[in-house]
Homo-oligomer: A and B are copies of this chain.
Amino acid sequence: MSLLVIGSLALDTIETPFGKAERTLGGSATFISTSASYFTTPVRLVGIVGYDFPKEEIEFLKSKKIDISGLEISETKKTFHWHGKYDFDLNTRESLVTELNAFETFDPVISEKFKDSEYVCLGNLHPSLQKKVISQISKPKLVMCDTMNFWIEGAYNELLEILKHVNLLVINDSEARELTKEFNLVIAARKIMSLGPKILIIKKGEHGALLFTNDSIFSAPAYPLEEVFDPTGAGDTFAGGLMGWIAKTKDLSTDNLKLAVIYGSTMASLAVEKFSLDGIRNLTNDTIMKRFSEFKKLTFFKEQTL
């Protein structure tokens, strides 16, 4: 049940057509670990924040039974700060401010206690940092990795190197196309899987996600929401639900991976309904299962042959 999550913790300022939230809790590791905490505890968090990181948010992470012994608190630097503004359709966003602060010198050292982690979530980081993390884990059963166009463009060779050690890559459709120079996602998927990951998930935003394994393709819908307030962290929340379910069940069969994708989608659909992390701060199992069952209604049909 040992799930290790590494990534950024941030204080985000977010503007959407629906409002603005100032210096609110953000970062890939925050979303991943909070989302995963509904499936498996304690989630092991590795990251760095600054001296300005709110005490109550530390308490919040603890309340989710997240093990924060791997969370470094810088005494001299501030927390990573991102200020983004979303377009009217919420599909494109502009980064107005990116202040790395404490995150700039983040050097992930995995404690002895965490080295036996079985499931590893590498949040979006420079591939060389991701590699450094993997090399410290003694015997991972599954390494999941997220990345972004920034690394595809700026650290291509390092990304290819890390992919050799990754079992499950989560990437969005435009990144998959950029990485492979293939427009067709099925062909892009095959190319990516030849680089290392035996399991691949391509996220398509409002169009859901595709899961590729060696013997199948699974298509998960996105939940059709009338009001998406803030897409920030949706992908990380997805990854947290996905890996939380896998760590809980310890089952890497295709059938169970499909289920993990649905749980990831369930969590992401709950996250985007509110600003920042608010959509997944205080969920009950009932709320999660209710949304989960909506996913079933959304795609299941009664068979009848021609």
Please report A residues at the B interface, Cβ cutoff 8 Å. 38-39, 88-89, 183-187, 204, 206-208, 210, 216-222, 224-228, 249, 255-256, 258-259, 262-263, 285, 288-289, 292, 296-306
Contact = CB atoms under 8 A, between A and B. Distances in A.
B183 A306 contact: no
Given A224-B210, A304-B259, A298 B219 contact: yes
A109 to B, nearest CB: 33
A219 B299 contact: yes
B305 A289 contact: yes
Contacts of A183: 88-89
Given A224-B186, A306-B288, A300 B297 contact: no
Contacts of A262: 301
B207 A301 contact: no
Given A255-B301, A289-B306, 20 more contacts: A89-B183, A184-B226, A184-B227, A186-B224, A186-B225, A186-B226, A208-B221, A210-B224, A217-B224, A218-B297, A218-B301, A219-B299, A220-B299, A258-B302, A259-B301, A263-B306, A289-B305, A292-B306, A296-B303, A299-B299
Nearest to A303: B296
Which of A88, A224, A263 has the most C-beta atoms of chain B within 10 angstroms of its own C-beta?
A224
B228 A219 contact: no
A228 to B, nearest CB: 7
Nearest to A262: B301
A185 B224 contact: yes
A298 B217 contact: yes
A294 to B, nearest CB: 9
Contacts of A285: 306
Contacts of A187: 226
Report the 6 A-B pairs with minimum CB-CB distance, sorted nearest first: A219-B221, A207-B207, A299-B299, A258-B301, A186-B226, A89-B183
A144 B255 CA distance: 37
24 contacts: A38-B306, A184-B225, A185-B206, A185-B224, A186-B225, A186-B226, A207-B208, A216-B297, A218-B298, A219-B224, A219-B298, A220-B299, A221-B221, A221-B299, A249-B304, A258-B302, A259-B303, A259-B304, A262-B301, A263-B306, A285-B306, A288-B306, A292-B305, A292-B306
